[in-house]
Amino acid sequence: MTLVEIKGLRVSFRQHGGEVEAVRGVDLSLKDGESLGIVGESGSGKSVTCLALMRLLPNSATVTADKLELNGVDVLKARNRQMAAIRGSTAAMIFQDPATAFDPVFTIGHQMVETIQTHRSISKQAALAEAEQLLLKVEIKNARDVLGYYPHQLSGGMLQRAMIAMALSCRPKVLIADEPTTALDVTIQAQILQLIKGLQAEMGMALIMITHDLGVIAETVDRVVVMYGGKVMEEGLVAEIFDNPQHSYTQSLLASLRAGETRQPETGAGGVVAPALELKSLSKVYKLRRQGRLFSRYVDFPAVRGVDLVLPRNKIVGLVGESGSGKSTTGMMAMRLLEPTAGRIVVDGTDISELGIDALKPYRKSMQVIFQDSYSALDPMMTLSQIIAEPLDIHGMGTSRDRLDKALGWLERVGLDRSYGTRYPHELSGGQRQRVAIARALILGPSVLVADEPTSALDVSVKAQIIGLLKDLQKQMGLSMLFISHDLSVVRSLTDTVVVMYKGRVVEQAPTANIFAGPRHPYTRSLLDAIPVTNPRDRRQRTFLQQADIERATPHYVVAELPGHVQPALEPQLVTVSPGHLVEAVVTR
């Protein structure tokens, strides 16, 4: 039976007196038990389409359609009460960021019970018992405790599981998942996707998976709709579309998905020259406040624990790890934007870890940074040329005429027109803003660039452009770049060496090709295993390692197996297993 039928859907928003068309004539249908993916970048109308189906759009939206039916109900004509009854029971939704999708002032249990009692007349106790069962079903082991937790007490992955449990509580016929894993780490993403897929099969419900990531599509659904600019570009079975994309937009999406597979390691001069940046047992300890009954006490939380890292000249080193692994903290400490608790930062042979502000200033010129969120990294009150020229101003370089010329030159160099110089950041798209941030970072001609997740807020196609730009500029300027990212496909296509961090330590480090071909540390393996497949035929059931599994599976070596002189120790240490390949392991005699 047809569950969802959409014909000629159009949605427009009233904005500042004008109308903005978000969806322009979309046709879609979904049968019972079917799984459908909707893929497209932000602004393609994929989320708006589903919100229109649930009638959840704000009042500023105008929705028209030849047909908009959900389980036989005409969504355009249904009464409010009728729509409320469908929502949550016939069609349930899960959202991108589970941390903001729960009401922060009520417990998980309260919110689940509320959902159950809205649609069914059962007692609070019965609803609570059912909520516990549902939490167990989504593989939350301490379900009873979690019922009493407030949303801020759970991690993103756990919250998304709870969100799924809540969505399933009334046995919906269709689950609409709106970018359910975008805000999560790679390993957690893989777990959540596998969970959704498993539950869908088990409960025989239909699934609509909205995503910008073709990898997610390849992992989860049977049929896919590709959207762009509010229109459906292409539709078909996942396997067919991956093998034989008809539309040029789909082809470019697939190309950027697979770009990561073809990076040849660069061979070049190296080795003898002093590295551009060296971190020696760098660590950062935060003091966390724990509230006791009478007194609050401070507990040490080691965010980074003795990290050694070498950034060779003219190379790109990727620093990867899940959120909370300490990778950004390490990057910020390397720049002295965050004070290290211990350790040394060596730039061009000088230890800058203890320099005062004045002594540090010349080094700031040779070390620059770009951030994830280009919007908050640019001063909204300054024009682009002022923003790009500001570093020159700070270091007192050139006359204001020279500075302006140079800034406009850099605008062109990062692929923007000179006329953009008088614009303000809010007039640009995310990708354009990131270009401005790159220009600002490079105008001083630095030798070291720290890039902290510079592409993770960007759409797929824009991401590829920014990566291309960084690659070109790195080659032209001979930059040494520390590229911090959780996106392994980007890391694979861009970097020469990969450093993997886990819980504040470096657990593995190797040339990029080696790490993808033969990861040695269990955490690296689980990280690589979690990367979504690039072809739906490669789908597989994954097994996930818990923290304890990872610690148990720490590699063991006997002294004789390893090159060089290694002291055996009980504690894991970073050892060289082959040239350039280091892994954290326990070494015994």
- 104 near other proteins (CB under 8 A): yes
Interface residue with other proteins, options 13, 150, 424, 544 (CB under 8 A): 150
121 binds other proteins (CB under 8 A): no
d(CA 189, CA 69) in angstroms, rounded, equals 31
Shortest reach from residue 102's CB to other proteins, in Å: 6
CB-based burial label for 37 (10 Å; 0-12, 13-18, 19+)? buried
Check: CB of residue 107 under 8 Å from CB of residue 147. yes
Contact 252, 461 (CB under 8 A): yes
Nearest to other proteins of 97, 240 (CB atom) = 97
Count the site residues for other proteins by CB under 8 A.
Answer: 42
CB 346 → other proteins: shortest distance, Å? 34
Q: Which of 28, 63, 68, 87 binds other proteins (CB under 8 A)?
A: 87
Minimum distance of other proteins from residue 106's CB (angstroms): 8
How far is the first Cα of the chain from the last one, in angstroms, to the nearest whole number? 67
Instruction: Identify which of residues 175 and 510 has a Cβ nearer to other proteins in the complex.
Output: 175
Least Å distance between CB 512 and other proteins?
Answer: 34
Binding to other proteins in span 167-196, by CB under 8 A: 170
At its nearest, how many Å lie between other proteins and the CB of residue 388?
Answer: 33
Q: Does 562 bind other proteins (CB under 8 A)?
A: no
CB-based burial of residue 417 (10 Å sphere; 0-12 exposed, 13-18 middle, 19+ buried)?
exposed
Give the Cα separation of 501 and 582 in Å (integer).
Answer: 12
The binder of other proteins chosen from 141, 152, 401, 540 (CB under 8 A): 152
Number of helices followed by number of strands (H, E) in the chain: 22, 24
CB of 339 to other proteins, least distance (A): 22
Chosen residue from 44, 89, 191, 250 binding other proteins by CB under 8 A: 89
The correct pick among 15, 121, 296, 419 for binding other proteins (CB under 8 A) is 296
Q: Which of 32, 12, 14, 40 is nearest to 24 (CA)?
A: 12
Calpha distance 66→13 (Å, rounded): 19
The yes or no reply on residue 18 touching other proteins (CB under 8 A) is no
Min dist CB 267 to other proteins, Å, is: 46
Least distance CB 140 / other proteins (angstroms): 13
Q: Is 290 in the site for other proteins (CB under 8 A)?
A: yes
> Judging by beta carbons within 10 Å of its beta carbon (0-12, 13-18, 19+), is residue 290 exposed, middle or buried?
exposed
The smaller minimum CB distance to other proteins, of residues 123 and 142, is found at 142
Residue with tokens 């990861």, as numbered in its chain? 519
Q: Are the beta carbons of 250 and 233 closer than 8 angstroms?
A: yes
Q: Among candidates 474, 278, 314, 449, which has minimal Cα distance to 369? A: 449
Of 6 and 488, nearer to other proteins (C-beta) is: 6
Distance CA(407)–CA(437), nearest Å, equals 12
Going by C-alpha positions, the residue among 264, 323, 352 that lies closest to residue 484 is 323
DSSP string, 380-404: TTS-HHHHHHHHHHHTT-S-HHHHH
* Cα–chain center distance at 254: 19
Smallest separation (angstroms) from other proteins to the CB of 209: 16
Cα(387)–Cα(379) distance, integer angstroms: 7
Half-sphere exposure of 58 (CA within 13 A, CB side): 4
Distance CA 319, CA 333 (A): 14
- What phi and psi values does residue 345 have, to the nearest 5 degrees? -120, 115
Stretch that binds other proteins, among 83-91, 209-217, 498-506, 573-581 (CB under 8 A): 83-91
What's the angle, vertex CA 583, arms to CA 577 and CA 584, rounded to 5? Answer: 130
The interface region with other proteins, picked from 94-102, 253-261, 331-339, 481-489 by CB under 8 A, is 94-102
Minimal distance, residue 492 CB to other proteins, in Å: 32
d(CA 75, CA 280) in angstroms, rounded, equals 62
Q: Which is nearer to other proteins, 100 or 422 (CB)?
A: 100
Which residue among 84, 203, 477, 513 contacts other proteins (CB under 8 A)?
Answer: 84
Binder among 95, 242, 371, 502 for other proteins (CB under 8 A): 95
Closer CB to other proteins, residue 211 or residue 489?
211
User: What binding mask, one character per residue, do residues 28-67 give for other proteins by CB under 8 A, x or -?
Assistant: -----------------------x--x-x-----------
Q: Please choose, out of 30-38, 208-216, 284-292, 478-486, the segment that lies near other proteins by the rule CB under 8 A.
A: 284-292
Is residue 13 at the binding interface for other proteins, with CB under 8 A as the rule? no
Q: What CA dihedral angle connects 571, 572, 577 and 583, to 10 degrees? A: -160
Q: Stretches 85-93, 266-274, 405-413, 464-472: which one binds other proteins (CB under 8 A)?
A: 85-93
Give contact residues for other proteins (rule: CB under 8 A). 51, 54, 56, 80-81, 84-89, 92-93, 95, 97, 100-106, 114-115, 118-119, 149-150, 152-155, 166, 170, 288-291, 293-296
